[in-house]
DNA sequence: GTCGAACTACGATGAATCTCGTACTATGGA
DNA sequence: TCCATAGTACGAGATTCATCGTAGTTCGAC
């Protein structure tokens, strides 16, 4: 029972996975909120029009794509956008997406 | 029959649609080739590991997302990346995606 | 006109996925 | 210990979508 959640390394992040992860409105909203609030965000506090299990599904998709870090803290999950890694791999990508009005 | 293909206007382009369109490996390859060759590209000349009808499907997805222009020229279709519109709407996005190695 | 080349339209199929509900685990407080 | 809260696991239903084959259209060459 490795208690830690699995994340891809910086070099394992694939552009297709990142784009697919951010192409969903719910996930895009999650990432925008995490980025806006900064530092670590208790993922459960971000309002979403979906149930808990769907939220879990989206958070896993973002984590596995390498878009966010997720760590456990008590019964909560703290999420952080992997800005450093994404900026290193794809300079300008994250800013372009997050600042896009839509 | 309106002979011209329908494209979204610059202000109708949605970020989710653009990300979804570029998240597919086949479509990403198409756009990268169009961008590399520049000007107008006869879409049929770009090698792809799919059939003609699948190619048509992907080109329509890219067109409807606002990623490329498609115009008819004889029996061929000429494609051009909508760099101006995409740069205006989402500065830096296209460059970040197209220059990404992987 | 006839033929082939390039492409589209349409339907089918199988895979991915978004969503949910239920059941379960884990943490922390009374 | 008991219980509420936060989250996960699992399966199911519905939708989307990538792919293909076949049939049809359009265009240019002969």
pLDDT of amino acid A3: 62
- Any chain A CB within 8 A of the CB of B42? no
pLDDT of amino acid B30: 97
- The set of long-range contacts for A65-69, using a CB threshold of 8 Å and a minimum separation of 24, is A65/A8, A65/A13, A65/A14, A65/A17, A65/A18, A65/A20, A65/A21, A66/A7, A66/A8, A66/A10, A66/A12, A66/A13, A66/A14, A66/A17, A66/A18, A67/A18, A67/A21, A67/A22, A67/A31, A68/A31, A68/A34, A69/A7
> Using the CB atom, is residue B51 less than 7 Å from strand D?
yes
Cα separation of A40 and A38, whole Å?
A: 6
Measured distance between the N- and C-terminal CA atoms of chain A, rounded to whole angstroms: 42
pLDDT of amino acid B93: 97
pLDDT in single tens digits along all 102 residues of chain A: 346 899 999 999 999 999 999 999 999 999 999 999 988 899 989 999 999 999 999 999 999 999 999 999 999 999 999 999 999 999 999 999 999 876
- Strand A68-73 to B68-73 pairing: unpaired
pLDDT of amino acid B4: 81
Over residues B19-53, the pLDDT tens digits come to 999 999 999 999 999 999 988 899 999 999 999 99
- CA separation (Å) from A97 to A4, A46, A75, B23? 29, 19, 31, 14
Residues in chain A within 8 Å Cβ distance of B28: 15-16
Cα separation of A44 and A70, whole Å?
A: 12
B11 neighbors B82 (Cβ within 8 angstroms) = no
Q: Across chain B, what does the average pLDDT equal?
A: 93
> Using the CB atom, is residue A50 less than 7 Å from strand C?
yes
Contact B28 A20 (CB under 8 A): no
C strand bases under 7 Å from protein CB: 4-11, 17-23, 26-28
- The set of long-range contacts for A58-64, using a CB threshold of 8 Å and a minimum separation of 24, is A58/A24, A58/A26, A58/A27, A58/A30, A59/A30, A61/A21, A61/A24, A61/A27, A62/A21, A62/A27, A62/A30, A62/A31, A63/A5, A63/A6, A63/A7, A64/A6, A64/A8, A64/A17
């Amino acid at each position: 029972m490795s208690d830690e959640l699995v994340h891809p390394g910086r070099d394992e992040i694939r552009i297709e996975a990142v784009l697919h992860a951010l192409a969903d409105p719910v996930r895009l909203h999650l990432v925008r909120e995490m980025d806006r609030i900064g530092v670590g965000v208790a993922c459960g506090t971000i309002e979403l029009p979906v149930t808990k299990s769907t939220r879990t599904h989206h958070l896993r998709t973002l984590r596995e794509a390498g878009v966010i870090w997720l760590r456990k803290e008590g019964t909560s999950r703290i999420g952080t956008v992997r800005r450093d890694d994404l900026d290193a791999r794809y300079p300008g990508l994250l800013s372009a997406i997050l600042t896009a009005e839509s």
